[in-house]
A and B are shown apart, each in its own frame.
Chain A
Amino acid sequence: GENVEQHPSTLSVQEGDSAVIKCTYSDSASNYFPWYKQELGKRPQLIIDIRSNVGEKKDQRIAVTLNKTAKHFSLHITETQPEDSAVYFCAARNYGGSQGNLIFGKGTKLSVKP
C-alpha cells in the first residue's frame, strides 16, 4: 500500500523567511496530494491541494510542487508570519484504487519566530 514520508519533523524560521516541507510517496498510482494545517488543539484544515496532472499550484503565499517521476511533492510558504505556526500534514490518495483513502505523513511542526 501507499506510504508517505514527511520531512522535516520540526522547522523553525524567522518571520519573513520561506519555509519548505517535503513529502515522498511510494504508490505511483496516487493522484491527489492535499496539505493540511493544524493549529494547536484544533482540527486539520485543507490549505492547498494538487492533482497529478499539474506540476505546481499557488495560492497567495502558499505553493505546492509535484514531481511525479521522483514521487515527491513539497509545500512552500513565503514571507512567513507568526500565524503560520502550526503542524502541517501532507497526504496522498489514489482515486483509482480499491480504497481511495488518504494516507498522511507524520507532520511537520513549523515555528515562525517574530
Chain B
Amino acid sequence: DGGITQSPKYLFRKEGQNVTLSCEQNLNHDAMYWYRQDPGQGLRLIYYSQIVNDFQKGDIAEGYSVSREKKESFPLTVTSAQKNPTAFYLCASTSRGVSGSNEQFFGPGTRLTVL
C-alpha cells in the first residue's frame, strides 16, 4: 500500500507538550515531505528533505521541527510553539526529489488533536 507508514494513527496532545509523528518508507525514495491538511485548505507543505541529513522549510514550518538521520525515516515534531496544531498530518515520498520518477506516495496520515 505505497510502502509508507505513519504512526500513530490518532494522537492526542495536551497544550504545552511536544509530540513526534513517525514516518517510515521502504521505497528507497530520496525525498520525503510533511504536509498539514485542514478542511478547505488543501495540502500545505511543512518541511521537506531531498537527501539524508538535509531538510528545508516549507510554507508553514513555524512550530515544527524535523530530522533526517536515515533515508527511510523522517519524523516530525510538533512543538508547543505551534499555536493551532490540531490537523491531519500526511507524510509523503518520491524518488529522486527534483527530477526522475514523478509519483508522490502518501502515508495513511496521523490525526493530531490538542486537548
A interface, CB within 8 angstroms of B: 6, 9, 32, 34, 36, 42-46, 49, 51, 89, 93, 95, 97, 99-102, 104-107
A-B contact count, CB below 8 Å?
Answer: 49
Task: Determine the chain B residues whose CB is within 8 A of the CB of A95 once the complex forms.
Answer: 98-99
**Does more than half of chain A's interface fall in helix, strand or loop, or is it mixed?**
loop
- Cβ-closest chain A residue relative to B9: A41
Closest B residue, CB atoms, query A6: B42
For residue A93, which residues in chain B have a CB less than 8 angstroms away from its CB?
102
Complex Cα spacing A69 to B99, Å: 23
Residue of A nearest to B103 (CB): A46
B48 closest partner in A (C-beta): A101
Query: Bound complex: CA of A95 vs CA of B109, how far in Å?
Result: 26
Contact assessment for A45 and B42 in the assembled complex, using a CB-CB cutoff below 8 Å: no
Give the number of residues in B that approach A within 8 Å (Cβ atoms).
22
With a cutoff of 8 Å between Cβ atoms, the chain B residues found around residue A46 in the complex are 103-104
- Give the nearest-CB partner of B100 in chain A: A95
Q: Which one of B41, B42, B90, B99 has the highest number of Cβ atoms from chain A below 10 Å of its Cβ?
A: B42
Instruction: List chain A residues, Cβ under 8 A from B45.
Output: 101
Per a CB cutoff under 8 Å, which of A34, A43, A106 touches B107? A43
Tell whether A42 pairs with B33 under 8 Å between CB atoms, given A49-B103, A100-B99: no
Quick check: A106 and B40 within 8 Å, CB to CB?
A: yes
Residues of B within 8 A of A100 (CB): 97-99
Chain A residues positioned under 8 Å from B109 (CB to CB): 42-43
Alpha-carbon gap, A51 to B99, bound state (A): 12
B8 within 8 A of A: no
Chain B's closest residue to A97 (CB) is B98
Q: How far, in angstroms, from A42 to B88 measured CA to CA in the complex? A: 10
Contact of A106 among B41, B97, B104 (CB under 8 A): B41
Q: Does any Cβ of A come within 8 Å of B2's Cβ? A: yes
Contacts of B40 in A (CB 8 A): 9, 106-107
Shortest CB-to-CB span from A8 to chain B, Å, is: 13
A44 to B43, CA, bound (A): 10
Give the distance to chain B from A27, nearest Cβ to Cβ, in Å: 15
Indicate if the CB atoms of A43 and B106 lie closer than 8 Å: yes
Is B58 positioned at the interface, with any CB of A under 8 Å from its CB? Answer: yes
